[in-house]
Amino acid sequence: MIKALRALELHELQDFTQEVKSEVLLRVKEKIPHLESSLAVAELTVALHYVLNTPEDVLIWDVGHQGYIHKALTGRIKSLDHQRTRGGISGFLNRAESPFDFFGAGHASTSISALAGVCMADAIKKHKRHRIAVVGDGSFTGGQTFEALNHLGTIDTNALVILNDNNGSIDQTIGVLHNHQNYQAYFKSLGWEYHLCEDGNDVTALVAQLQQALTLGGKRVIHVKTTRPDLSPPKSYKPGTTFQWWAAEEMSLILAAHPELQILSPAMFAGSGFAPLREKYPQQLHDTGINEPHTVTTAAGIAAAGGKAWVHIYSTFLQRAIDQVIHDIALQELPVVFLVDRAGFVGSDGPTHHGVFDQGFLLDIPNVTVWNPMNGSELQAMLRRASEIQAELIGPLFIRYPKARTSCDSSVDFMEYRILKQAHSHTLLLSSGVLSTFAEVGAMDHIHVGQVKPLPTEVKRMLGRYQTIVVLEESIGVGGLSGTVAMEIAQTDLDLKLVIRKIDDVFTEHGSRQELLKETRLIPSEKGPSY
Amino acid sequence: MIKALRALELHELQDFTQEVKSEVLLRVKEKIPHLESSLAVAELTVALHYVLNTPEDVLIWDVGHQGYIHKALTGRIKSLDHQRTRGGISGFLNRAESPFDFFGAGHASTSISALAGVCMADAIKKHKRHRIAVVGDGSFTGGQTFEALNHLGTIDTNALVILNDNNGSIDQTIGVLHNHQNYQAYFKSLGWEYHLCEDGNDVTALVAQLQQALTLGGKRVIHVKTTRPDLSPPKSYKPGTTFQWWAAEEMSLILAAHPELQILSPAMFAGSGFAPLREKYPQQLHDTGINEPHTVTTAAGIAAAGGKAWVHIYSTFLQRAIDQVIHDIALQELPVVFLVDRAGFVGSDGPTHHGVFDQGFLLDIPNVTVWNPMNGSELQAMLRRASEIQAELIGPLFIRYPKARTSCDSSVDFMEYRILKQAHSHTLLLSSGVLSTFAEVGAMDHIHVGQVKPLPTEVKRMLGRYQTIVVLEESIGVGGLSGTVAMEIAQTDLDLKLVIRKIDDVFTEHGSRQELLKETRLIPSEKGPSY
């Protein structure tokens, strides 16, 4: 299709774009998240591949856009039938999928840094080619874009950044830069020439501007205003069915009872079912933009000033602020509560978004408390408990829950652990989180460890009663709950056999949670409801 | 002293400042790192405490400055005699040390985010007071400052940021913003009013400008130009004595042999003895500024473009880019080599700078290789091997070494592990890094594990020959090498006792490496040379 595109006359591009859009829409039977962003850059995508000699020329997409039109143009239009399903193509750019996907991007704001790297590699090889990064206005709230513009600005090279301004990311774009449309002054202050393209859905105008900018060379930005179909409404969860829904329900009560409590989120309220809370408690919910380090340190600042700070963040994005968790919160012993959504396999978003690393990282940090509820009832009990004890915390508390179905049968009390089965077996199964409800227990005794750090004293004591301990956790790496139990056994001179069932040391592709849990043998393959 | 300061007339401040400076210099017999930065803000510090009602008013220092004058003014002038030594005061701001240290800062660029948090906490409590953050021009290269300015700019509050521009951080400041002195346009584009104070060492002028800005209210920046004594020369290491020296020596050969190899560092060349390399290979060494996420993704970009990228970074700062390591490098299977300096206890910089987390994090990430040399000879062998096999890597390779003395007796070959003692004991000691040279071996067999990930197959096989395995590592957390061995034992049905000796789950204060290693029982307390 790319060859056909390049053979077209300029005046034929608009019709061509319409045809591609129609075919993509036709193929995508199920709703694709962020499809609006891709449709809004259909003309831009066509113009870029028309002007550039990709894949020899370098085209880097920042995550904000998603690349469905790009994928369609580069040999994957039929594959869109099976996008984001097990074995199908990824929802993101993916180097393994196509040479046209020069650089993957699952997390925002990285593309200009990658562009800087290409410029540096090309400089030392004296390799001449065009190099472009396309970044959305939402991604521009991430400080890495500033770091890259400021540094790349000092390098004598040709580099073009497209600011795709469709007035939003997954949610409204935050910040003065966007709100006041001060981009021109901003880019110039960092040494970049600025061009404005008012109609970014006019493919012929785009081609002209791209050609001009590439001819002029140097470091340039084209600020392209694109119009996208209406932003999808904030994600809503079917009442009474998911961890997300139960979290929002309980938080509503907690916010009402604690009018000084403030929840910050780096652009994740809309995706998590918290949008209605924002309407109801506008003074208490703050979307800080896509900027995890800033969000976490701001929460530390609130706590340092004696306020009640909570952070709402997805597990995979918490990785971006792990240093701030260590230095600004844990080391300073500040009481900040984190709601960690999307903990564990996330499903169709795949390896860039699975929440499989945070538990391992968090358990390595002193002064940290980590809770994994097994169901909606326990999640609500944990949220209530957190709101009650926050002032006593000497460090951060993380309440981690998956993007999964769950019920909330009745109100329960908070407990650090729950004995789910005790039948005098020689083997004890320790599990945590939602896996506790689906574990294959067989003849084993079974304890759900709600609090994985610190490991409850009673659980430590009970280890000695068994010959074998089986640890089951939805987490990657050599630490985590299994590492904690291994340390405990090593320190207490117990003669115990340890069996560890966790995620293998590989990146797991996309698929439904159930498929992934079966494939990684965390649940038996013949059972398990849709979660 | 703060009361005495506030009782002074305006015209007395200059003399007062001189006296404080003199006394600080007198007390600080040994060289304090970054002392120039503190001396350069002596007048600013005096002016701030004169104008503000600290600690009720909030004064937040970003790390760039260091707060020795601030500490002197706030009751700690005598404590400067014992700064940065075991039991003495910290070299950084520290909440536990004084109520005047409102927010700690060991890593750069966080202060405006903390300021935002204070504004938000004060807003909901209707608490009126002054709130100021002081940030150096070096810290401004970190994107978190952008995130904070852009977000805080949208909040209806009073907040004052002092840009302390002394024309450098630990090294020359990088980036167009500083080089072209485009601060005014930059701040305005983010919604901040801008004031310039040309002579930031004139204490009376500073008082007047501070008072004016605080009276005007809103979001304001005062760009204060301060003059500091000459920047300390780049750190030099006594030839032939440290890991740093041996690393630089070998890298010089490697850079000459691989003219396409590029080493990036987020402002750490000067501190690590790499400054002479930068002089010698200006096309190959690139200081990217204090911006770890950008640095790591740029390296990924170089690798994606087919270049040879190495990153030179301290362990503690690698934490700031762990997400970029996961997504941009490991997931994309890109061959990037990392020199991780300051791995393990760092000494007098203390808990914000100990390199104790990175090994635990790295070992949890798929596609990662981690090497810990035991001495200078092995470090050089590892660097040579890395330069030879880089193209074959399918993911990042980390070579971690401490800030410690070591020798390089002779050229050795790279080996994944070394059997240091084999005497048919029932107990095997596994150690890694420099600890392998100082471990108390006693009657145990002893293997130095140079490659901690992947754990060498032969080492795995040998485990079965023993009854007890002792793992010794200079790392915190429940994973790491000990977690790796625990997983191996759990997976192979071996009936083995595991003993783990690593850093306890607490933040360790500052002190010499030897003091800290003894205190944490990683080396016996009666032995061990100065390392």
At which residue do the structure tokens 């962020």 appear?
A34
Mean pLDDT, range B396-414, rounded to an integer: 95
pLDDT at position B356 = 98
Q: Give residue-wise pLDDT tens across range B150-160.
A: 999 999 999 99
Percentage of residues in chain A with pLDDT exceeding 90? 84
Inter-chain CB proximity A477 and B364 less than 8 Å: yes
Work out the pLDDT band at A336, boundaries 50, 70, 90: very high
pLDDT score of B529 more than 70: no
Q: Which of B60, B146, B368, B484 to mutate to test the interface with A (most CBs of A within 10 A)?
A: B146
Q: Which of A94, A120, A481 to mutate to test the interface with B (most CBs of B within 10 A)?
A: A120
Comparing CA positions, the residue from B45, B39, B79 lying closest to residue B207 is B45
Q: Please, are residues A477 and A445 in contact by the beta-carbon 8 Å criterion? A: no
Comparing A231 with A181, which gets the higher pLDDT?
A: A181
Mean pLDDT, range A37-60, rounded to an integer: 96
Inter-chain CB proximity A185 and B189 less than 8 Å: yes
Comparing CA positions, the residue from A209, A242, A243 lying closest to residue A401 is A243
Q: Please, are residues B459 and B484 in contact by the beta-carbon 8 Å criterion? A: no
Chain A nearest-CA distance from B103, in A, is: 7
Beta pairing partners, A503: A476
Chain A nearest-CA distance from B285, in A, is: 11
Which residues contact residue A428 at a Cβ distance below 8 angstroms, ignoring those fewer than 6 apart? A444, A445, A446, A447, A462, A463, A465, A466, A468, A469, A470
A-B CB pairs within 8 A amount to 401
Each residue of A351-389: b (16+ CB within 10 Å) or e?
bbbbbbbbbbbbbbbbbbbbbbbbbbbbbbbbbbbbbee
Is A409 a domain residue?
Answer: no
pLDDT at position B166 = 86
pLDDT at position B34 = 73
At which residue do the structure tokens 């170089």 appear?
B302
Mean pLDDT, range A468-496, rounded to an integer: 93
Q: Please, are residues B314 and B290 in contact by the beta-carbon 8 Å criterion? A: no
Two structure tokens written together for A258: 């604690």
Mean pLDDT, range A90-102, rounded to an integer: 94
For residue B483, the chain A residue with the least C-alpha distance is: A478
Q: Picking from A59-63, A153-157, B225-229, which range would have the lowest pLDDT averaged per residue? A: B225-229
d(CA A372, CA A403): 13
Query: Based on the domain organization, do A73 and A139 belong to the same domain?
Result: yes
Is A528 a domain residue?
Answer: no
Mean pLDDT, range B199-223, rounded to an integer: 97
d(CA A522, CA A471): 11
Inter-chain CB proximity B305 and A118 less than 8 Å: yes
Query: Based on the domain organization, do B366 and B453 belong to the same domain?
Result: no
Query: Based on the domain organization, do A84 and A156 belong to the same domain?
Result: yes
Question: Where in B5-115 does DSSP place strands (E)?
Answer: 58-61
Long-range contact set of residues A425-428: C-beta below 8 Å, sequence gap at least 24: A425/A466, A426/A466, A426/A467, A426/A468, A427/A466, A427/A467, A427/A468, A427/A469, A427/A470, A428/A462, A428/A463, A428/A465, A428/A466, A428/A468, A428/A469, A428/A470
Q: Please, are residues A329 and A396 in contact by the beta-carbon 8 Å criterion? A: yes
d(CA B522, CA B474): 7
Is B409 a domain residue?
Answer: no
pLDDT at position B324 = 98
3-class SS at B490?
helix
Domain boundary among A198, A225, A252: A225
pLDDT score of B416 more than 70: yes
Is B488 a domain residue?
Answer: yes
Domain boundary among B366, B400, B434: B400
Query: Based on the domain organization, do B61 and B131 belong to the same domain?
Result: yes
Query: Based on the domain organization, do A216 and A170 belong to the same domain?
Result: yes
Two structure tokens written together for A44: 């831009």
3-class SS at A500?
strand
Query: Based on the domain organization, do B210 and B341 belong to the same domain?
Result: no
Work out the pLDDT band at A228, boundaries 50, 70, 90: confident
For residue B326, the chain A residue with the least C-alpha distance is: A352
Burial class (CB in 10 A: 0-12, 13-18, 19+), A29: exposed
Q: Please, are residues A293 and A317 in contact by the beta-carbon 8 Å criterion? A: no
pLDDT at position A31 = 64
Comparing CA positions, the residue from A523, A447, A326, A498 lying closest to residue B483 is A498
Using CA of residue A121, residue A123, residue A127, residue A128, what is the dihedral sign? positive
Q: What CATH number is associated with residue B437? A: 3.40.50.920
Two structure tokens written together for A273: 């079912």
Burial class (CB in 10 A: 0-12, 13-18, 19+), B167: middle
Inter-chain CB proximity A150 and B141 less than 8 Å: yes
Query: Based on the domain organization, do A373 and A479 belong to the same domain?
Result: no
Comparing A228 with A379, which gets the higher pLDDT?
A: A379
Q: Is beta strand A445-449 parallel, antiparallel or unpaired with respect to A427-431?
A: parallel
Q: Give residue-wise pLDDT tens across range A249-261.
A: 999 999 999 999 9
Mean pLDDT, range A148-164, rounded to an integer: 97
Identity of residue B523: I
Of B117, B179, B363, the CB nearest to A154: B179
Task: State phi, psi for B476 to the nearest 5 degrees.
Answer: -105, 165
Q: Please, are residues B327 and B299 in contact by the beta-carbon 8 Å criterion? A: no
pLDDT score of B233 more than 90: no
Query: Based on the domain organization, do B258 and B209 belong to the same domain?
Result: no
3-class SS at B468?
strand
Instruction: Give the DSSP H or E segment for A221.
Output: strand A219-225
Q: What CATH number is associated with residue A8? A: 3.40.50.970
Percentage of residues in chain B with pLDDT exceeding 70? 97
Chain B nearest-CA distance from A281, in A, is: 12
Inter-chain CB proximity B479 and A360 less than 8 Å: yes
Of A145, A151, A291, the CB nearest to B151: A291
Of B127, B476, B486, the CB nearest to A486: B486
Burial class (CB in 10 A: 0-12, 13-18, 19+), B198: exposed
DSSP B356-409: -SHHHHHHTSTT-EEE--SSHHHHHHHHHHHHHHGGG-SS-EEEE--S-B----
pLDDT at position A173 = 85
| Helix, strand and coil percent figures for chain B, each rounded to 5 | 40, 20, 40
Is A133 a domain residue?
Answer: yes
Q: Give residue-wise pLDDT tens across range B271-304.
A: 899 999 999 999 999 999 999 999 999 999 999 9
pLDDT at position A170 = 65
d(CA B148, CA A298): 8
Is A233 a domain residue?
Answer: no
Inter-chain CB proximity B117 and A297 less than 8 Å: yes
Of B103, B326, B479, the CB nearest to A301: B103
Inter-chain CB proximity A283 and B366 less than 8 Å: no
pLDDT at position A527 = 55
Percentage of residues in chain A with pLDDT exceeding 70? 97
Query: Based on the domain organization, do B356 and B472 belong to the same domain?
Result: no
DSSP B218-234: SEEEEEEE---SPPPPP
pLDDT score of A245 more than 70: yes
Two structure tokens written together for B398: 């980390």
Chain A nearest-CA distance from B292, in A, is: 9
Average pLDDT of chain A, as a whole number: 94
pLDDT score of A531 more than 50: no
Q: How many CB atoms lie within 10 A of CB B241?
A: 15
Comparing CA positions, the residue from A496, A504, A443, A439 lying closest to residue A472 is A439
Q: Picking from A453-467, A475-489, B26-40, B249-263, which range would have the lowest pLDDT averaged per residue? A: B26-40
On whether ipTM exceeds 0.85, the answer is: yes
Percentage of residues in chain B with pLDDT exceeding 90? 84
Mean pLDDT, range A317-329, rounded to an integer: 98
Beta pairing partners, B427: B468
DSSP B48-64: HHHHS-TTTSEEEE-TT
Inter-chain CB proximity B259 and A294 less than 8 Å: no
pLDDT at position A11 = 97
> Which residues from A are below 8 Å from B489, CB to CB?
498
Chain A nearest-CA distance from B409, in A, is: 35
Q: Angle B480-492/A480-492 helices, nearest 10 degrees?
A: 90
Longest dimension (CA), chain A: 79
d(CA A242, CA B442): 56
Please tell me the total count of domains within chain B.
Answer: 3
Instruction: Give the DSSP H or E segment for A193.
Output: strand A193-197
Comparing A120 with B525, which gets the higher pLDDT?
A: A120
Work out the pLDDT band at B31, boundaries 50, 70, 90: low
Query: Based on the domain organization, do B68 and B205 belong to the same domain?
Result: yes
Inter-chain CB proximity A117 and B297 less than 8 Å: yes
Which residues contact residue A154 at a Cβ distance below 8 angstroms, ignoring those fewer than 6 apart? A191, B174, B175, B176, B179
pLDDT at position A285 = 97
Judged by phi (left if over 0) then psi (alpha if -120 to 50, else beta), residue B362 lies in alpha
Q: How far is CA B84 from the centre of its chain?
A: 15
Judged by phi (left if over 0) then psi (alpha if -120 to 50, else beta), residue A334 lies in beta
Residue numbers of the domain that contains A214: 2-225
Two structure tokens written together for A349: 């978003």
Is B231 a domain residue?
Answer: no
pTM over 0.95: yes
pLDDT score of A168 more than 80: no
pLDDT score of A229 more than 80: no
pLDDT score of B527 more than 60: no
d(CA A163, CA A139): 9
3-class SS at A183?
helix
Is B528 a domain residue?
Answer: no
pLDDT score of B530 more than 60: no
Query: Based on the domain organization, do A219 and A320 belong to the same domain?
Result: no
Going from the C-alpha of A303 to that of each of A87, A365, B108, B153, the distances in angstroms are: 45, 19, 20, 21
Task: State phi, psi for B253 to the nearest 5 degrees.
Answer: -65, -40
d(CA B481, CA A400): 26
pLDDT at position A530 = 45
Mean pLDDT, range A18-26, rounded to an integer: 92
Query: Based on the domain organization, do A77 and A112 belong to the same domain?
Result: yes
3-class SS at A196?
strand
Q: Please, are residues A266 and A288 in contact by the beta-carbon 8 Å criterion? A: yes
Of B147, B175, B188, the CB nearest to A293: B147
Q: Please, are residues B292 and B109 in contact by the beta-carbon 8 Å criterion? A: no
Domain boundary among B191, B225, B259: B225
> Which residues from B are below 8 Å from A364, CB to CB?
357, 360-361, 476-479
Going from the C-alpha of A147 to that of each of A116, A445, B282, the distances in angstroms are: 11, 53, 21
Inter-chain CB proximity A151 and B291 less than 8 Å: yes
